[in-house]
């Protein structure tokens, strides 16, 4: 197969993702995409949600066990069916979908391992119900499932991106989880990604942890952890600068000078990038044996079934494959 398919795990069954997918299939970006798409999830639920939201698509079911015998039809929605029992088409999110989501991921990981596909998108997942505190996020879940030693979360926009060194941790645990090694590993993964995928040596800004990069404590994370990491990176010829205080860094004149900002915790960098770009950003996991992307939003149960959800993030994900991974 010249253009290996993009696998899309439908994720939380009671979320806005099916709606955004239907809008994707109607978009100009999808029509320009050379790679085919295969969904992995409940065919029955997808059809019912499609009818409720008043979309019309033909469905092409592909049997997982005999996948090589089936042809992909770009004019239809191609799906590998995973059975899921539900009471309502637009139901509440609960732990009831946990095993269903796991089966979807298991199928995707088998196909990726067999090199049937090289690209994965997953719909939003309820961390509370699916991960159940065992993993901080899907980044860590897939890192463990693929026996990957080093991975990184990059929230990507073609103009400017961010990376949190710690992901979904309570703020009280952040300072103890930051190490020079983590900072170095994340920056090297990002630098390698930009060079290989975007053909560009990125300009990287390193942010401090404390307000104004200062602390009244005897132990300074900036002096003992972050600055030594920056010093090492500069010796490795990485185009990095810092340290920058997060309260003023995200001014337009500052971010225009950089491609990526490395922050020390989740909201330090995700809050400003979502404010700047709304849904026009995607979550990329770097370091995996395949390229994994997810839309940069959650299940958003409050909007389910209203047909008002913004599909920009899934469109941005597909557009990334079209522009940078469509060889």
Q: What's 260's domain CATH number? A: 3.40.718.10
Backbone angles phi, psi at 96, to 5 degrees: -60, -25
In degrees to the nearest 10, what's the CA dihedral of 314, 320, 326, 327? -160
Specify whether the CB–CB gap between 89 and 45 falls below 8 A.
Answer: yes
- 308 vs 108 pLDDT, higher one: 108
Measured between alpha carbons, how far is 240 from 247 in angstroms, rounded to an integer?
19
Tens digit of each residue's pLDDT (9 = 90 or more) over 174-213: 999 999 999 999 999 999 999 999 999 999 999 999 999 8
Provide, rounded to the nearest whole percent, the portion of the chain with pLDDT above 90. Answer: 72
Residue 301, pLDDT > 90, answer no
116 and 222 co-located in one domain? no
99 and 144 co-located in one domain? yes
Residue 39, pLDDT > 60, answer yes
Q: How many domains does the chain divide into?
A: 2
What does pTM read for this prediction? 0.91
Instruction: State residue 191's pLDDT score.
Output: 98
Cis status, amide bond into 243, omega within 30 of 0: yes
Specify whether the CB–CB gap between 288 and 118 falls below 8 A.
Answer: no
pLDDT tier at 92, thresholds 50, 70, 90: confident
Structure tokens at 165: 């060194």
pLDDT tier at 325, thresholds 50, 70, 90: low
- The average confidence (pLDDT) of the chain is 92
298 and 239 co-located in one domain? no
97 and 195 co-located in one domain? no
246 and 321 co-located in one domain? no
- 135 vs 50 pLDDT, higher one: 50
Domain that holds residue 129: 1-148+288-327
185 and 314 co-located in one domain? no
50 and 5 co-located in one domain? yes
How far are the Cα atoms of 125, 132, 135 from residue 265, in angstroms, in the given order? 20, 21, 16
Measured between alpha carbons, how far is 281 from 315 in angstroms, rounded to an integer?
10
Specify whether the CB–CB gap between 151 and 288 falls below 8 A.
Answer: yes
187 and 208 co-located in one domain? yes
224 and 144 co-located in one domain? no
Residue 327, pLDDT > 50, answer no
Q: Which of the listed residues 279, 300, 317 is the one where a domain comes to its end? A: 279
89-98, 129-138, 255-264: range with lowest mean pLDDT:
129-138
20's CB contacts (< 8 A; 6+ apart) are 295, 309, 310, 311, 313, 314
Measured between alpha carbons, how far is 116 from 40 in angstroms, rounded to an integer?
14
Residue 229, pLDDT > 90, answer yes
């Amino acid at each position: 197969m010249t253009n290996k398919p993009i696998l899309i795990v439908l994720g939380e069954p009671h979320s806005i993702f099916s709606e955004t997918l239907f809008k994707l299939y109607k978009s100009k970006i999808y029509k320009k995409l050379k790679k085919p798409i295969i969904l992995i999830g409940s065919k029955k639920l997808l059809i019912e949600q499609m009818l409720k939201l008043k979309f019309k698509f033909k469905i092409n079911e592909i049997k997982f066990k005999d996948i090589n015998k089936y042809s992909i039809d770009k004019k239809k929605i191609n799906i590998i069916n995973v059975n899921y029992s539900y009471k309502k088409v637009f139901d509440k999110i609960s732990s009831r979908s946990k095993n269903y989501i796991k089966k979807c991921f298991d199928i995707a990981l088998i196909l990726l391992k067999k090199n049937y596909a090289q690209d994965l998108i997953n719909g939003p997942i309820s961390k509370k119900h699916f991960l159940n505190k065992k993993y901080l996020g899907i980044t860590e879940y897939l890192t463990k499932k693929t026996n990957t030693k080093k991975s990184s979360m990059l929230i990507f926009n073609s103009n400017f991106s961010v990376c949190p060194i710690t992901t979904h941790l309570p703020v009280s645990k952040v300072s103890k989880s930051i190490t020079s090694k983590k900072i170095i590993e994340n920056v090297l993964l990002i630098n390698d990604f930009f060079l290989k995928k975007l053909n560009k040596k990125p300009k990287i800004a390193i942010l401090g942890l404390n307000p104004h990069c200062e602390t009244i404590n005897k132990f300074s994370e900036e002096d003992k952890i972050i600055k030594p990491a920056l010093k090492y990176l500069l010796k490795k010829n990485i185009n990095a600068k810092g340290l920058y205080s997060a309260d003023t860094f995200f001014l337009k004149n500052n971010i225009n000078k950089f491609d990526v900002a490395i922050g020390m915790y989740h909201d330090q960098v995700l809050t400003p990038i979502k404010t700047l770009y709304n849904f026009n950003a995607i979550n990329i996991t770097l370091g995996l044996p395949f390229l994994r992307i997810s839309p940069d939003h959650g299940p958003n149960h409050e909007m389910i079934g209203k047909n008002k959800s913004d599909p920009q993030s899934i469109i941005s994900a597909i557009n990334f494959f079209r522009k940078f991974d469509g060889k």
